[in-house]
């Protein structure tokens, strides 16, 4: 039996698992799952399938760096085109923003 590459204690079992990317379920994929730490490993072929599915769903390469700008006394954040298209955002549309802890900003449409 294969040992887990991460915790080095558990053993790996083949299982089909749900794969989530940016909160969307991409479907079930064959993985080796550690019975101790729960880490999941995908082989190269499965990895390609996941990438393909992510591209089909428009989720590939959507995460991006952006900079905070200034508009008068407030700050604004430029949203990359891919995110605008994915969420179908329009100028003037109202969204709700709030922090989640000190490191994360949530924008809800
Ligand atoms: Zn492990």
> Residue 61 has what pLDDT?
86
In-domain check, residue 81: yes
Co-location of 75 and 97 in the same domain: yes
pLDDT grade, residue 1 (50/70/90)? confident
Residue 64 in this model has a pLDDT that exceeds 90: no
CA of 58 to the centre of ligand 1 (A): 31
The tokens for 37 are 């730490």
Containing structural domain, residue 44? 12-56
| Side-chain-side CA neighbours of residue 92 (13 Å) | 0
CA of 3 to the centre of ligand 1 (A): 8
Co-location of 40 and 72 in the same domain: no
In-domain check, residue 62: no
Residue 8, SS3 per DSSP: coil
CA of 98 to the centre of ligand 1 (A): 35
Q: What is the mean pLDDT of the chain?
A: 93
Co-location of 76 and 101 in the same domain: yes
DSSP per-residue codes, 10-67: SBEEEEEEEEEETTEEEEEEEEEEETTT--EE--HHHHHHHHHHHHHTT-TT------
pTM: 0.69
Co-location of 50 and 76 in the same domain: no
């Amino acid at each position: 039996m294969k040992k887990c590459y991460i915790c080095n204690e558990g053993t790996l079992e083949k299982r089909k698992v749900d794969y989530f990317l940016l909160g969307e379920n991409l479907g079930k994929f064959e993985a080796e799952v550690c019975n101790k730490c729960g880490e999941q490993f995908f082989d190269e072929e499965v990895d390609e399938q996941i990438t393909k599915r992510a591209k089909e769903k428009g989720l590939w390469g959507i995460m991006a760096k952006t900079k905070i700008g200034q508009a008068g006394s407030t700050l604004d954040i430029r949203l990359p085109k891919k995110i605008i298209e994915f969420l179908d955002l329009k100028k003037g549309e109202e969204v709700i923003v709030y922090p989640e802890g000190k490191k994360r900003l949530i924008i809800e449409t």
